[in-house]
A and B are shown apart, each in its own frame.
Chain A
């Protein structure tokens, strides 16, 4: 294991800082996003959505809409039901209405659609549809969803008499209870991780183009998982899979929001089938915020057991999870709570137990989204907040408490009490690097001086461990599809290469990073390697991009396929140089005869030879290409230490994030510029979630956060100039040692911000207040009246 602290900034044939290959099109405004797709004769689809959260549909009158001169088609749930298309499976074994038939179950639910000649006319016609509802009482409060008197939301499910969704538990209950019984100190804390929304800047959409002559369907779609979506469409629609082509064009941010299949996609397909024309559906911002995959919404009760001198013994938690009207979570089948099971965090804890109950409410479906690495965001928030609560009670410095309990390098691979096998890490070195960059002792001195003057300055620390790169197919699947990913590499005669991968970029820079991975392995410059992705006809099968699985799974596939090509190149080189394979040495980009560096052939020479007429070794076919399907042996475990510095205005309760230091260990670093960008993004998420963001509802289930005026996202004025650092502890089982970094900062930063604000408010005796720490909520908390968010 190596830990180095130097960056690598050079023009690389392989790893190192390199400008992105995708940027020239974006800075010219030449990206091709979903709404940029224009096809001849294309029609526009608009969805009519429920104005209420819970109600029975008594009748839908579409006559006036159909009479609109520009309208081609109006479809209701009843019409879909006739074709058996009114319901579709979700990614977690539940069903979700495509268009409501019996009841509407959340405000914003899809009720009917119109297809018209242009987008304005389609919207106009929505106004002409008359739906009669019988309003039902709504279940808007997750805490009362299981009351016997609560109305049953999912009466579509046979025999359903309550709003219970599932129960789940992990860990050893008896051992944990014993550890708590023996402990000197127990801290317990209720905390809410509010419902938030990924809100990518580009909303969701699709263009469906069904060709009645050849029976083929082409679907351009904002999807992070084109192959998985295609299989699902085949299963739902009955169209043969090989006749469906899903193209994910440039995606304007995903963050998990573009993993699920939304009713709008299915409606666009149906509309194209029925009209015989291409049909475009794009949602507006309020549709995106009110109907597509939300994230979090966990109500947690956490407890830590510890010795008086600060040794953490055990952790216990109860969780109430709000899954909305349909269980639309996109998590591996065996993991209904995602990877929340890693809630023991980065510490050597002897016993752990979690019991979770998930319920239905009259809110939008979803659950796993927003760069959370399958619920690790919630898990890290829980433990990192609890550790600070413990430090508060024991009057210990939160850094000292962490240092005393962090896993030590020699403990890896480390099996947690909930069964996760952490692959590698050097946690103390990572935390100390963050302390060094931040000048932690200096900050504490500054804080002392400020406190003496009545100023409120806070320093918040968090340490996180993520589990990403799902996952081993023996254990992990989405709807029965194993979570492996393919890669295919062709080196053409002139030595230029095309790599085809099954993951899909939404801004992470795959076209650059993956070219660098291949370049590192076979010595062809990244500029000569084209990366093809996001098109099921053009790429091998695989499960796509979410849960930070691109570099950890597809990146591994890219390295493996390049090694396969290099192995073949070695055989061809031995024929070209007329020497045995054992006498060849590889020097990134060429094979040379041992001891005679002038006798050598480059990868480009070999590519030409492989396609030419020259002699090839026995059993070696022409061409220079290979394909692999990578099945991860284990997850990878990126980790990091974050330090946040805030000032709180005592008169207004406004929090200013003044500094933020993030030290990440994502294993082998491919392009440090891109890694830094990924970290910056997540830190901004963290500040947003901690201070501003919440999808709120009133008692009737009306969504109060349906626009960017109500759902606040950080602008350039709310975030500081980030300071980043890194350690490198490669993953031992990953082909290139890379661990993935896309979600690290979203996972690790919210507790750092909240810990900092609580630290600032220590003079008020405050130990915990729930996110979002908006001025008004914080003001209440400072006056001894902290409120859980609603």
Chain B
């Protein structure tokens, strides 16, 4: 079947098998290999991407279901050559080791911060509880998200300050 969708702001049209999973479409057809595949049972979250602004597990979404919709992957986080605060937070706070869970964590954490700019530790832990990380023990991921939240709060304050005479 032929379909069209938007991936990281660009329209893509492709000819695919109806059963193709979105994770494999992104990885094998679009070479967006930042999205990973870590389980067969929708448990690990390594495959998390955004579908119309909501994080979804792309191993559990048929490519066909994304037709006509907007997909955003980890490759779409960096804007105009500048890393997103959440990406910087993970680097600053050692929120990653092997880096395999990282893209899914970043997408989920970004969605959380868009919804809730200053989440508590418990809210962060709940938000990422559908993702497994085998390396970090999660505490540094929590700190990374808190770092990004603080960074953005600071950035917002300075924007407000700049606009106030």
Contact = CB atoms under 8 A, between A and B. Distances in A.
Given A252-B100, A708-B39, A716 B32 contact: no
12 contacts: A19-B94, A22-B99, A23-B96, A201-B44, A201-B134, A202-B38, A253-B100, A253-B135, A285-B39, A676-B140, A680-B139, A721-B121
Interface residues of B, number: 60
B55 interface: no
A676 B101 CA distance: 19
If over half of B's interface residues share one DSSP class (helix, strand or loop), that class is named, otherwise mixed; here it is loop
Contact of A28 (B78, B100, B135): B78
A716 B44 contact: no
B40 A284 contact: yes
Contacts of B92: 19
Given A201-B36, A201-B101, A252-B38, 13 more contacts: A33-B33, A200-B98, A201-B46, A252-B99, A286-B40, A674-B94, A677-B136, A677-B137, A681-B136, A708-B39, A709-B41, A715-B132, A722-B139
Contact of A285 (B38, B124, B140): B38
Interface string B107-142: 000000000000001001110111111111111111
A273 B17 CA distance: 30
B44 A708 contact: yes
A716 B138 contact: yes
A116 interface: no
A27 interface: yes
A35 B94 contact: no
A280 to B, nearest CB: 10
A578 to B, nearest CB: 46
Contact of B137 (A31, A708, A722): A722
A199 B97 contact: no
Interface stretch (A407-415, A490-498, A503-511, A761-769): A503-511
Interface string A1-40: 0000000000000000001101111111111110110100
A680 B141 CA distance: 11
A285 B98 contact: no
B41 A202 contact: no
Contacts of A31: 34, 99-100
Contact of A27 (B32, B36, B91): B91
Interface of A: 19-20, 22-33, 35-36, 38, 118-120, 199-203, 250-253, 255, 284-286, 506-509, 673-674, 676-677, 680-684, 707-709, 713, 715-717, 719, 721-722
B27 A35 contact: yes
Given A30-B34, A35-B37, A716 B94 contact: no
Nearest to B100: A252
A509 B78 CA distance: 23
A285 B132 contact: no
B137 A28 contact: no
A722 B121 CA distance: 13
Nearest to B88: A27
A33 B44 CA distance: 17
Contact of A684 (B32, B41, B138): B138
Contact of B142 (A19, A709, A716): A716
B155 interface: no
A677 B121 contact: no
Given A201-B132, A253-B135, A506 B98 contact: yes
Nearest to A721: B139
B38 A203 contact: yes
A266 to B, nearest CB: 23
A285 B74 contact: no
User: Which of B36, B40, B44 has most chain A Cβ within 10 Å?
Assistant: B40
Contact of A29 (B34, B88, B121, B140): B34
Contacts of A673: 94
A28 B136 contact: no
Given A27-B90, A30-B34, A38-B31, A250 B74 contact: no
B74 A677 contact: no
User: Which of A252, A506, A676 has most chain B Cβ within 10 Å?
Assistant: A252
B134 to A, nearest CB: 5
Interface in B62-111: 73-75, 77-78, 83, 87-88, 90-92, 94, 96-103, 106
Contacts of A25: 99
B103 A29 contact: yes
User: Which of B100, B121, B131, B134 has most chain A Cβ within 10 Å?
Assistant: B134
A379 B100 CA distance: 31
Nearest to B35: A29
A684 to B, nearest CB: 4
Contacts of B41: 285, 707-709
A119 B25 CA distance: 12
Nearest to A24: B91
A715 B135 contact: no
B154 to A, nearest CB: 19
A28 B87 contact: yes
